[in-house]
Structure 1
Amino acid sequence: MKCSCSGTMTFFGINPTVFMEITIVLSLLLLAIILFATEKFSVDIVTLVMLIVLVITNIITPAEAYAGFSSDFIVILASVFVLGAALEDTGVLEFMISKLVRVASKSTNLLLGLVMIVAGAISGFMNNTTVTAMFVTPLVGVSRKAKLSSSKLLMPLAYASILGGTCTLIGTSTNVAVSGYLDKTGIEPIGLFEVTPIGLIIFAVGMVYMMTIGKNLLPKHSEQHALVEEYNIQKYLTEIVITPASPLVGHNVFTSTLANAPFRTLNLIRGKTNFLPDYHTVFQENDILLVEGSLEDLIRIKESKGIEIMADVMAEKDLETKDIRLAELLVTVKSNIIGRTVREIDFMRRYGFAILAISRHGETLRSKINEVELRMGDLLLVQSSADRLSNLRTSQNLTILDEFQPILFKKQKGLITICCFLLAILLGSLEVVPLSVSFLGAAVISVITKCITTERAYQIIDWRLLILIGGMTAFGTAMENSGAASFLATGIVNLLENWGTIGILAGFVLLTVFLTQPMSNAAAALVIVPVAIKTALALHVDPRSFAIAIMLGASVSLITPFEPACILVYGPGKYKFSDFLKVGSGLTLILIALILGLVPFFWPF
């Protein structure tokens, strides 16, 4: 703190009121980063609370707070979600994927190359997480059938989907968000195919890396392990006999005193029949229960009247019969069971299966499964009847990993959707109509022609992402209004001025890559872009160059598996955190160097 000549108190040479506003904005940013990283609260709720605080403190007006939600680019993003879902629902994408896998399944290198090319191409026009999710099941299925290692395919798939999004404006929400912010600040927005040349180079380099260096760094896992062995649950399974004198005889399986024991009932053997009990099943004399629990709990229950323990350890054959089987289920991207506990969902009543174990980020969860809150990308080891599992093939919540059966290809509706998508791209890119109008029109036509239902259209839109982008756009305005952007820009210039313009730009790109770890890519970019624009103006260089470099930098952060597309392949690929660090770090550094070299070429300072 120091005193100016006029006698007004200043902080670091800044007016106290301005200093207070800068402090509020940067404190909110730090708090948001922490909350985004810990996931204690939903990102949309955190974003809305930030906006409320910024309006209450008069840093932004209500109109500025809501301006981001009325942007043309929000409409574009929502429309792309609907069109992508229409392609999925009509079976177009799964038809393509099934043909691809069938053609290339005999050669790992051919399969890897074609998967990356096709996934990257589709991701140029669709959400990369959705594209990754659609490829996971067929790739795991063909890997197990052909005795290949799915770990050699799934990480390259995720990376290809992410990098493919850099090739067009609509390829990733980050591109749409940054372009929308540029438009709001009076800078020319990014064209639909403006970034395609540099995006294709980034994608090609990423593909070559994964086909050579990356492939050798990827782990190799056998696909032939028994599921019980893989999840290491043998020591938790045993058989309990209900003796004729047991007080449990005549009581409902799921409401009896045994149901309150600290272990779970899986299947029931009655005579020569082995079946899954339901909510109508009652105990009979000499029933044999296959249960899962800790050894301590089983020893404790052994002393109960009317119960006998038959074995201490069971094998996978005891869990599978002609009618009952084990399967791995993947919690999908848009699943409505995410964030709910196993107990709340009540899988036995809702789906007719029991969960034996849950695999998350390489860790197997076996104890207190009922209290586990499910997340996207979780792998569930379940036991169920073949019929019940077959019914899951139409579920939007769970995907069976061990086999792939594409949904019926609705040829006529599929062609309508493809034509709508292509027409929207053509009209928008030629500026015959505004981009937002062309994509919205295509989305509306897909609903009118029943390529996708109205309910599905509203459901598929990622409202949390739209709120995040709209809110973080307003946060960018707050950084400008408060002076936080100028304050940080001055500090960065002073710190890196000896490195020149490229050195300063490199600092921004590296900071963006760092922030994408706790935050979403779009949020990280929207935090940095306002500061980068102020810095570019201070350096008398084109602010679009800085903004585009940051936008691309946010999309090449492949160091950790926090990107949703990477989370989806984490479990099925049996990866460890270190695998992403080992494979992704080198590729990320190469792509950062590529961006710093090519952006000044395509968008001169």
Structure 2
Amino acid sequence: MSTDLLMTVACLACAIAMFLIGRPRSDAVALIMIVALSLSGIVSVNEALAGFSDPNIVLIAALFVLGDGLARTGVAQRVGDYLIARGGSNERRLVVLIMAVVGVMGSVMSSTAVVAIFIPIVIRIARQSGVSRARMLMPVSMAALTSGMLTLVATTPNLVINSALVYHGYQGFSFFGITPLGLPILAASIAWMLFARRFLNGTGGAEASTRPSLNDWVARYSLEGRAFRLEVGPDSPLVGQTLGHTGLDDDPVAHVVAIERRTRMGATVLPATADSSIAPGDVLLLDVESASFDVETFCVRYALAVRRMSGAYFTDQTHDVGMAEVIVPPDSSLVGNVARSSAALRRHGVTVVGLRRADAALVQDLQATQLKVGDTLLVVGPWIDIFSMQSVERDIVCLAMPVESDAYVPVPHKALHALAIMALVIAMMLTPRVPNVLAGLIGCLLMGAFGCVSLDSAYRAIHWRSLVLIVGMLPFSIALQRTGGIDIAADAVLRVAGNWGAHGLLGAVFLLTLVIGTVISGTATAVLMAPVVLAMAAHLHASPYPFAMTTAVAASAAYMSPISTPVNALVSTAGGYRFREFFKVGSPAALGALAITVLLVPLIWPVFPR
């Protein structure tokens, strides 16, 4: 073994060790490896940094932005509402629907983003259906990981493997090239979770987050029974009036905190400012502070109709109506004044509905209560106004945002635009004349042009840590190839499994990839395994495609460990799962993926084509 190979293997071992202990961060490890390999002289500086100009890196960044467009326009939330409507309280039906939808969505956007969006949706589904969230969240992670096996762009390892094929002079996979494998594995995963969910006990997410929920605040500030949804009739005297003219914006007994208005794209929620006008069909979200308030008399007076509410204090409108807990600092102009009359809060379209002082809630006379330093206020209004207030207001300091704020949809009226753009991107990727990276960039530009994303949100959506990790690990392929390490690794696998036949070789590749992917990220696993399996194919004079496809599937089959992927880490925290639950449920799923892969790959991509 040459000195250069020893140095390369030592660097690789150090990188894997740092990945395992989690110190430093994975992207920092990648940067360290770029520097180390460059200083060693095994690769040049230009070769070490060449990954930053790789088209697949740009494509991955573009896919993050496209996924953000789907999230910001509320496509995922509408899917969640559909699941609640169709699934009801039938646990088996809910599991099938959730896994199918997560799998399909994860095939065109980041699986991590899909899981982050679906965790609050599934928790809400579990709460409304009476099913333990621990039995519902593990299927989400399994479907999200399996979604990486449905399309070429579904997950980063697929693109890494495809890039390695192209780099070695082979034709890459098509957009739906992996789908014939992914669909049977997704179906098998759904069938397995219908049985295996009984093993999931978890803690129900009791330790999932220290952040409060809207329901927590409803109880903390004694808001039960104070909310009404009242629809404005066409003959109502309120039609054409402003809230300020009617006095409903700051009435001490009953005041409007937001206005729900129907549009062609669905309902939207408007802030309740003094200048807000009232139109026929509007739904007034009314907060009532007095127990003696007679809603029937109020409705008769203003020609209003009571509309159903399924949640306490507008918690069934959490897509649009939000809350925030704020505190009055010493230098605030609110000290000594009444919060409800504050011009600072009114201009943001939020309303104070709760006040706590000395650890006790003041449930009445908020209109007459003068504020003191340290008072904690609960404000209600459209999410967009709450975020605006939080970022610019100096008279209050935001203490906490509820977990539901993560599901905020900034531009719900752009959902059809986002879906059309995503369909166009997929169509372009299916066209040989348009490179995938150009299709992704065109989609990003269209998302921005139609207002689905902003430049700031696009930059925030890109998972830079993943990109740096990929770029930092790519030089290992060059170093191992140049020093003969890849040939040695390929020969070792062939010595062990060379006599096992085509199916045995594919099984060995799958298991090796799976073992590595259980302890380090799937992306790093794909970067390390891609040159090895291509070298194996060359040694055997076999087709590279079955080995590359097996590696891609195995890199996404990290079902067994909560630390192997952000998807499992998110669900592990939210569901309160322990390692043994991942291993007990994930191991059979991984073996099932192995069996399906070994069975189908040689049929679709013959190992030794004639």
Q: How does the TM-score come out when normalised to structure 2?
A: 0.68
Q: Return the alpha-carbon distance in structure 1 between the equivalents of residues 81 and 360 of structure 2.
A: 29
**Match in the other structure for 1:458:** 459
| Larger mean Cα displacement after TM superposition, 469-478 or 117-126 | 469-478
Does the CA contact (< 8 Å) of 1:44 and 1:465 recur in 2? yes
Residue 218 in structure 1 maps to residue 219 in structure 2:
no
Q: What code does the residue aligned with 1:387 have?
A: V
Q: What code does the residue aligned with 2:571 have?
A: V
**In the TM superposition, what are the counterparts of 1:436-585 in structure 2 within 5 Å?**
436-562=437-563, 563-585=565-587
Matched position secondary structure for 2:518: coil
Change (3 A) 1:391 1:434: closer
CA deviations 1:181-227 (Å, max 9, x no partner) are 22112122121111111111111111111112x122222767999x9
| Larger mean Cα displacement after TM superposition, 100-109 or 457-466 | 100-109
**Match in the other structure for 1:599:** 601
Q: What code does the residue aligned with 1:51 have?
A: I
Q: What code does the residue aligned with 1:598 have?
A: L
Question: CA shift at 1:67, angstroms?
Answer: 2.5
Q: Return the alpha-carbon distance in structure 2 between the equivalents of residues 536 and 222 of structure 1.
A: 46
Question: CA shift at 1:495, angstroms?
Answer: 2.7
Q: What code does the residue aligned with 2:197 have?
A: K
Residue 81 in structure 1 maps to residue 64 in structure 2:
yes
Residue 410 in structure 1 maps to residue 408 in structure 2:
no
Q: How many residues align?
A: 449
Q: Return the alpha-carbon distance in structure 1 between the equivalents of residues 405 and 26 of structure 2.
A: 34
Question: CA shift at 1:399, angstroms?
Answer: 7.5
Does the CA contact (< 8 Å) of 1:141 and 1:403 recur in 2? no
Q: Return the alpha-carbon distance in structure 2 between the equivalents of residues 400 and 84 of structure 1.
A: 23
CA deviations 1:3-46 (Å, max 9, x no partner) are xxxxxxxxxxx5xxxx1111111111111111112121121221
**Match in the other structure for 2:322:** none
Does the CA contact (< 8 Å) of 1:95 and 1:409 recur in 2? no
Q: What code does the residue aligned with 1:473 have?
A: L
Question: CA shift at 1:322, angstroms?
Answer: 6.6
Change (3 A) 1:391 1:26: same
Question: CA shift at 1:435, angstroms?
Answer: 1.4
CA deviations 1:515-563 (Å, max 9, x no partner) are 1122110111111121111122111211221111011101112111122
Does the CA contact (< 8 Å) of 1:174 and 1:525 recur in 2? yes
Q: What code does the residue aligned with 1:22 have?
A: L
**Match in the other structure for 1:588:** 590
Matched position secondary structure for 2:519: coil
Does the CA contact (< 8 Å) of 2:73 and 2:415 recur in 1? yes
Change (3 A) 1:107 1:463: same
Q: Return the alpha-carbon distance in structure 1 between the equivalents of residues 172 and 40 of structure 2.
A: 30
Question: CA shift at 1:406, angstroms?
Answer: 5.8
Matched position secondary structure for 2:148: helix
Q: Return the alpha-carbon distance in structure 2 between the equivalents of residues 446 and 408 of structure 1.
A: 14
Residue 201 in structure 1 maps to residue 184 in structure 2:
yes
Q: What code does the residue aligned with 2:330 have?
A: H
**In the TM superposition, what are the counterparts of 1:238-317 in structure 2 within 5 Å?**
279-280=329-330
**Match in the other structure for 1:419:** 420
**In the TM superposition, what are the counterparts of 1:322-337 in structure 2 within 5 Å?**
none
Does the CA contact (< 8 Å) of 1:476 and 1:527 recur in 2? yes
> Which consecutive residues of structure 1, in runs of 5 or more, have no partner in the other structure?
1-13, 229-274, 282-317, 324-348, 354-383
Question: CA shift at 1:319, angstroms?
Answer: 7.2
**In the TM superposition, what are the counterparts of 1:88-99 in structure 2 within 5 Å?**
88-99=71-82
Does the CA contact (< 8 Å) of 2:327 and 2:377 recur in 1? no
Residue 22 in structure 1 maps to residue 24 in structure 2:
no
**Match in the other structure for 2:265:** none
Q: Return the alpha-carbon distance in structure 1 between the equivalents of residues 35 and 100 of structure 2.
A: 44
Q: Return the alpha-carbon distance in structure 2 between the equivalents of residues 319 and 144 of structure 1.
A: 28
Q: What code does the residue aligned with 1:162 have?
A: L
Q: Return the alpha-carbon distance in structure 1 between the equivalents of residues 202 and 26 of structure 2.
A: 35
Q: Return the alpha-carbon distance in structure 2 between the equivalents of residues 223 and 544 of structure 1.
A: 42
Change (3 A) 1:404 1:102: farther
Does the CA contact (< 8 Å) of 1:173 and 1:522 recur in 2? yes
Q: Return the alpha-carbon distance in structure 2 between the equivalents of residues 399 and 209 of structure 1.
A: 37
Residue 119 in structure 1 maps to residue 102 in structure 2:
yes
Residue 176 in structure 1 maps to residue 194 in structure 2:
no
**Match in the other structure for 1:310:** none
CA deviations 1:322-350 (Å, max 9, x no partner) are 77xxxxxxxxxxxxxxxxxxxxxxxxx9x
Q: What code does the residue aligned with 2:155 have?
A: T
Q: What code does the residue aligned with 1:82 have?
A: V
Matched position secondary structure for 2:153: helix
